[in-house]
Amino acid sequence: MTQSSRKPPTHVQSVIKRFLENRLALVGLIVLTILVIGSLGAHLFSPYSYSAQDLGYGARGPTLKHLFGTDPLGRDLFTRVLFGGRVSILVGVAATLVALCIGVTYGAFSGFLGGWVDRLLMRVVDILYAFPFTIFVIILMVLFGRNIVLLFCAIGAVEWLTMARIVRSQVMGIKKLEYIEAAITMGQSTPTIIIRHIVPNVLGPVIVYATLTIPSVMLLEAFLSFLGLGVQPPMSSWGLLIKEGADALEEYPWMLIFPGCFLSAALFSLNVVGDGLRDALDSTSVKE
């Protein structure tokens, strides 16, 4: 840590500056923004509804009327890709937020309290690592039906462990710093110290990890779609569309190509933005 890290504004500014200098990350950010705007404003960009069918006009390739073609039920694929993005992005962000909340709280307490509490909490994390979690998600979805809320929680519950570990190790470093010790001696309560002083300081690595978690959540959603456990139709998601596309790979290739490009673009840009953020935050690892 350099001198500047104690003064947040300068630190943040330098991070932004470094991030903007990374062209790949910048491109990623722009692509990401376009995807998010496209998905959130799906109803503005498309004249069709995601469920409107035209059975007689099923499975046609791209035309001017249907930019991305139609699926076998004659639904406009462009619309379904945009609406699908809404679900996929939502699942990714929401599950990551669930993971974030559990992971940060858990890790911060564990790291800050230290001693036997820390050891106990970390043992629990170790034990949970042994849970075949993907399998639990499958069981949960099979047994209790498809439910998008359940999907968020299930996925979030899988992803918080690593978050907790990262936060803990960060906190262990930070709590030895003078101003935290000063806060302790001033008699501030533990939760206050954690929320006021510790969490803001570990935010950097957490954001980086979160950006990298979203893609893996989106892939997990695709995996669940493969098992037929994804979102409830007639709603769509990228995972579901790609699954349908992969099944009709030879007959209707556009059904795979378009949603595939969108998902890949999203994952790609999230990954480069995450990498860019990490490089920008980590001032020591400027590589030549």
Partner 1 sequence: MLRGWHYLKFSSICLVGLCLFGCGAKKTAVERGNKAQILHLGNQTEPQDLDPHIVTGEPELHIISALLEGLVTEDPKDLRPIPGVAQSWDVSPDLKTYTFHVRSNALWSNGDRVTAGDFVYSCKRVLSPALGSEYAYMLFCVVNAEAYHSKKIATFDSVGVSARNDSTLIVNLAQPTPYFLALLSHTAWQPVHKATIEKYGAIDARGTAWTRPGNFVGNGAFVLKSWVLNKEIVVEKNSRYWDAQTVRLAEIHFYPIESSLTEERAFRAGQLHTTANVPPNKIAEYRLTSPKLLHVDPYLATYYYLFNVHRPPFDNVCVRKSLAMAIDRKSIADNICKGGQLPAFNFTPPGTAGFTATAHLTENLDSAKALLALAGFPDGKGFPKVELLYNTSELHQTIAQALQEMWKKNLNVDIQLVNQEWKVYLDAQKRKDYFISRAGWSGDYVDPNTFLDLWVTGGGNNRAGWSSPRYDSLINASRGALSQTLRFACYQQAESLLTSEMPILPIYFYVSSHLRATSVKGWYGTILDRHPYKYVWLDDQ
Partner 2 sequence: MLRLILRRCAEAIPALFAIATITFFMVRLAPGGPFSSEKNTDPSVLASLNAHYGLDKPLYVQYGLYMFKALQGDLGPSFKYPGRSVNEIIAGAFPVSLELGLLAISIALVCGMSAGLLASLRPRSLLDHIPMTIAMTGMCVPTFVLGPILVLGLGLGLQLFPVSGWNGPLDRVLPSLTLAAPYAAYIARLMRGGMLDVLPKDFIRTARAKGVSEIGIILRHALRGGVGPVVSFLGPASAGIITGSFVIETIFAIPGLGRFFVLAAFNRDYTMILGCVLFYATLIILLNLLVDILLAWINPRLRGAS
Of 171 and 256, the one with the shorter C-beta distance to partner 2 is 256
What are the residues whose beta carbons fall under 8 Å from the beta carbon of 85, sequence distance 6 or more? Answer: 35, 38, 39, 42, 238, 262, 266
Two tokens, residue 262: 């969108």
Stretch in the footprint of partner 2 (CB under 8 A) among 12-20, 63-71, 84-92, 222-230 = 222-230
CA atoms in the 13 A half-sphere facing the CB of 279? 19
Is position 61 an interface residue for partner 1 (rule: CB under 8 A)?
no
Interface residues for partner 2 in 104-133 (CB under 8 A)?
123, 126-127, 129-132
Burial 242-255 (b: 16+ CB within 10 A, else e): bbbbeeeeeebebb
Contact indicator for 103, 199 with CB cutoff of 8 Å: no
Q: How far is the CB of 243 from partner 2 (least distance, A)?
A: 7
Stretch in the footprint of partner 1 (CB under 8 A) among 16-24, 51-59, 130-138, 160-168 = 51-59
Q: Which of 1, 16, 24, 52 binds partner 1 (CB under 8 A)?
A: 52
Two tokens, residue 275: 């990498």
DSSP tag of 70: B
Is position 3 an interface residue for partner 2 (rule: CB under 8 A)?
no
Q: How far is the CB of 61 from partner 1 (least distance, A)?
A: 14
Q: How far is the CB of 149 from partner 2 (least distance, A)?
A: 17
Instruction: Choose the contact partner of 186 out of partner 1, partner 2, none; CB within 5 to 8 A by kind.
Output: none
Contact indicator for 254, 68 with CB cutoff of 8 Å: yes
Of 13 and 232, the one with the shorter C-beta distance to partner 1 is 232
Q: How far is the CB of 217 from partner 1 (least distance, A)?
A: 21
Q: How far is the CB of 268 from partner 2 (least distance, A)?
A: 6
What are the residues whose beta carbons fall under 8 Å from the beta carbon of 1, sequence distance 6 or more? Answer: none
> Residue 70: beta bridge partners?
76
Is position 248 an interface residue for partner 1 (rule: CB under 8 A)?
yes
Is position 165 an interface residue for partner 2 (rule: CB under 8 A)?
no
Stretch in the footprint of partner 1 (CB under 8 A) among 36-44, 92-100, 139-147, 171-179 = 139-147
State whether residue 38 is helix, strand or coil. helix
Two tokens, residue 137: 């998600």
Two tokens, residue 21: 């200098």
Contact indicator for 58, 70 with CB cutoff of 8 Å: yes
DSSP tag of 177: S
Q: How far is the CB of 132 from partner 2 (least distance, A)?
A: 4
Is position 260 an interface residue for partner 1 (rule: CB under 8 A)?
yes
Distance CA 288, CA 24 (A): 16
Q: Which of 151, 222, 255, 281 binds partner 2 (CB under 8 A)?
A: 222
Q: How far is the CB of 131 from partner 2 (least distance, A)?
A: 6
Sign of CA dihedral 59, 61, 63, 68: positive
Residue for token pair 């809320």: 149
Q: How far is the CB of 222 from partner 2 (least distance, A)?
A: 5
Of 114 and 260, the one with the shorter C-beta distance to partner 1 is 260
Distance CA 186, CA 188 (A): 6
Of 23 and 65, the one with the shorter C-beta distance to partner 2 is 23
Instruction: Choose the contact partner of 251 out of partner 2, partner 1, none; CB within 5 to 8 A by kind.
Output: partner 1
